[in-house]
Structure 1
Amino acid sequence: MTDKDNALFSTIRQPPNLRSNLADTLAAQIESGDLKPGQRLPTEQAIMAASGVSRTIVREALATLRAKGLITTHQGLGAFVSDDPTPRSFSIIPNDLQSIDEVLRVLELRMGVEYGAAGLAALRRTQEDIDRMQDRLDALDRALEEGGYGAEEDYAFHRSILVATQNSYYGRLFDTFGNIMVPRQWARLDKMTAAERKRHAARMRREHHAIFTAIRDGNEAAARRAIRSHLSKSAARFEELRGATDLS
């Protein structure tokens, strides 16, 4: 491996998510043209030696790039930069959410999108939209009451808000994410006591009902406040979880 190749990998940060950092570094090199279309990537062993990560991490990073269409692999030949490495669409895949830091970044993105959407939904919602949101909210309530994560129901409720904007691009954007926008693997309900789970469910219901009520009543400012409060509190809970994880 050349000195230039080693330099390409020197910016990889080790903690907290090795796979994500390696994938991000390689993606940046592809998008900047440092790694050119059709160019063969260094071998797994060479990447391991340059970056100091394990073979498993290297393979997971390459799988992420392949899923995004940035590289192709050929049996016995290795990995190559795609002839057209420009991503055709933005996406978040499950492997992108392997650390709390990544979850927090997604929440920041959601806040930017949903803050605007909630206000538009309050102004433009139809009775059909209200009925749809009520149905999704009822399903979420049932899931939480039964002690579940409610990730799919949570996603469906938030998507119904985007649909109520009457701007199809909002819904299409959310569809590129799917329900991984609600990262159930970090909820850690299994580590909560019965009382903690009950408080968690009550808090979730209260926050979602506040959003729904504001949109139903056509209160644009209240709808924006409610969605911002909900997502900010979610971010704060993940920050607390990160702190507890760092201390463990």
Structure 2
Amino acid sequence: MDFKPIKTKKIYEEIVEQIKQMIVHGDLNPGDKLIPERELAEKLEVGRSAVREAYRALEAIGIIEIKPGEGTFVREMGFKSMTDIMSLAVQTGKNSIFELLELRKIVEVEAAALAAQRRTEEDIQMIKKALDEMEKDIQKGNLGDISDIKFHYTICAAAHNSLLNKLMSSISETMKREMVTVREKLYRVPGTPTRLLEEHKKIFEAIIKGDELEARKTMFINLDNAEKGFME
């Protein structure tokens, strides 16, 4: 456990951040036991009370578990834990948001193709509703992040794959934060809102027609453009 000396006013927050970073990067894994408070305080060159406060903060958000008489452990990976780790990863910076955008390309491009193949009339109506909301948001000058999320989630739902739905649910909160961050940057470029709306309309049209290849293509273009625009 390669901890670094703390040199800041908010000591316990820096300790929390270091432990979060170690979990995100795989230096600490679910089930791993953290070193005792006194030993960690010595390594970080801080007071023991700061370490105790950091451990309590991490326990409060469900990242670690303090077992009296046994020690402090990174929580085992469950549904909530997976969501927490995804959230922590995206909070670490630009590269992590890029990785989430990359993950979305891997998952949602094929989901669009499945939606074109399996969508029901009800699915089409739900996707259309989200698209209409997005158009209204853009007309009002809003980010449209929530309607955008609804659009992509209804497409994944239209793929009718229960495991895909669980995966998307597990990263829902992370995606909400990512969507705001990405759209805030993309919207600085004139004409971007209109372009994004047109890209979404093409995805919808491909799904209505049942054109799997076109659905893949248009979804890829939308997510790839978002990725490139954010990384510029």
Indicate the TM-score class for this superposition, using the shorter chain for normalisation. 0.7 to 0.9
C-alpha deviations, 1:43-71, integer Å up to 9, x for none? 66446459xxxx8xx95x9856764x441
How many correspondences in the alignment?
A: 210
Which AA in structure 1 matches 2:203?
A: I
Distance 1:26 1:135, change over 3 A: closer
**Structure 1 partner of 2:29:** 31
Q: Output the TM-score relative to the length of structure 2.
A: 0.74
Selected match of 1:237 from 220, 229, 232: 229
Q: Point out where structure 2 has 5 or more consecutive residues left out of the alignment.
A: 5-13
1:9 CA displacement: 1.4
**Structure 1 partner of 2:209:** 217
1:31 match: secondary structure: coil
Query: Is the CA contact (8 Å cut-off) linking 2:112 and 2:212 kept in structure 1?
Result: yes
Distance 1:32 1:207, change over 3 A: same
Q: Percent identity at matched positions?
A: 24
C-alpha deviations, 1:13-57, integer Å up to 9, x for none? xxxxx9777524246344287x438x635666446459xxxx8xx
Distance 1:203 1:106, change over 3 A: same
Q: Distance in 2 between matches of 1:80 and 1:162?
A: 38
Distance 1:44 1:231, change over 3 A: farther
Distance 1:191 1:120, change over 3 A: closer
Q: Output the TM-score relative to the length of structure 1.
A: 0.70
Q: Distance in 2 between matches of 1:62 and 1:96?
A: 21
**Structure 1 partner of 2:140:** 146
**Structure 1 partner of 2:2:** 9
**Structure 2 partner of 1:133:** 127
Q: Point out where structure 1 has 5 or more consecutive residues left out of the alignment.
A: 1-7, 12-17, 241-248
1:72 match: secondary structure: strand
Query: Is the CA contact (8 Å cut-off) linking 1:121 and 1:215 kept in structure 2?
Result: yes
